[in-house]
């Protein structure tokens, strides 16, 4: 009997013993192939701990399914191919996980920015309208007609039967008051809501 034939017979005996649940056969398989399979896995994963986990999981799986083991090639080739397939699955899983993590990070950041800007704009808008409501009645009315209704100083003066100079003075007074009240918010970096720059 040649060396190759002898090895083949030994492999067949080992596989037969594995199917029958002989622990010594399992231990012999583990002792013979564990280290080289870990090295083989690490060629794909570049992570010794994960490589060890991959191989250990393979041996556990072999033991659990020992009664149904089907090996049509050499035992070593079977084990190497099994490790390779598990490594490829691991790599694909890691890629998917990384994509998911990046997606979550990106979308959470964008969502947080939207929420933060929305909160900032709402806070500033509320502060603006509160400041406007605190203006003297005549000053407030002229400011609203100018900034919200889009009327010119001349149109406001004509409607309210005031001089154009008076209207200009009231608008200047309103702007000065609003800038003073809102300045702390703007200095602290709170975002302007749409149209605020036009208002002030």
When pLDDT is averaged across residues 132-138 and rounded to a whole number, the result is: 87
User: Topology of 3-99 in CATH?
Assistant: Rna Polymerase Sigma Factor; Chain: A (1.10.1740)
- Least Cα distance to 51 among 37, 62, 41, 61 occurs for 41
> How many CB atoms are closer than 10 A to CB 155?
15
Between residues 92 and 116, the one the model is more confident about? 92
Write the DSSP assignment of 43-112 as a string of letters.
HHH--HHHHHHHHHHHHHHHHHTGGG----S-HHHHHHHHHHHHHHHHHHHHHHHHHHHHHHHHHHHHHH
pLDDT digits (tens, 9 = 90+) for 59-77: 888 888 777 777 766 778 8
Q: Is the pLDDT of residue 129 over 70?
A: yes
Sketch the domain layout of the chain as residue ranges: 3-99, 134-199
pTM: 0.45
Q: What is the pLDDT of residue 195?
A: 44
Q: Is the pLDDT of residue 118 over 50?
A: no
Q: What is the pLDDT of residue 193?
A: 41
Residue 189 in 3-state DSSP?
Answer: coil
Q: What is the pLDDT of residue 56?
A: 92
Measure the CA–CA gap between 73 and 51, rounded to whole angstroms.
23
Q: Which CATH number fits domain 134-199: 1.10.10.10, 3.40.30.10, 3.30.70.270, 1.10.3720.10?
A: 1.10.10.10
């Amino acid at each position: 009997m040649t060396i190759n034939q002898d090895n083949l017979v030994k492999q067949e005996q080992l596989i037969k013993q594995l199917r029958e649940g002989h622990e010594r056969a399992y231990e012999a398989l583990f002792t013979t192939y564990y280290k080289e399979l870990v090295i083989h896995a690490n060629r794909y994963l570049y992570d010794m701990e994960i490589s060890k986990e991959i191989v250990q999981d393979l041996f556990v799986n072999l033991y659990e399914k020992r009664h149904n083991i089907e090996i049509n090639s050499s035992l070593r080739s079977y084990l190497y191919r099994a490790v390779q397939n598990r490594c490829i699955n691991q790599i694909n899983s890691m890629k998917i996980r990384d994509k998911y993590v990046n997606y979550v990070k990106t979308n959470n950041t964008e969502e947080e920015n939207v929420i933060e800007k929305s909160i900032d704009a709402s806070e500033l808008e509320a502060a603006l309208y509160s400041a406007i409501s605190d203006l003297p009645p005549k000053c407030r009315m002229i400011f609203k007609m100018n900034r919200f209704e889009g009327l010119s100083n001349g149109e406001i003066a004509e409607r309210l039967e005031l001089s154009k100079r008076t209207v200009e003075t009231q608008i200047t007074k309103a702007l000065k008051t609003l800038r003073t009240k809102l300045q702390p918010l703007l200095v602290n970096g709170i975002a302007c809501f749409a149209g605020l720059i036009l208002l002030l």
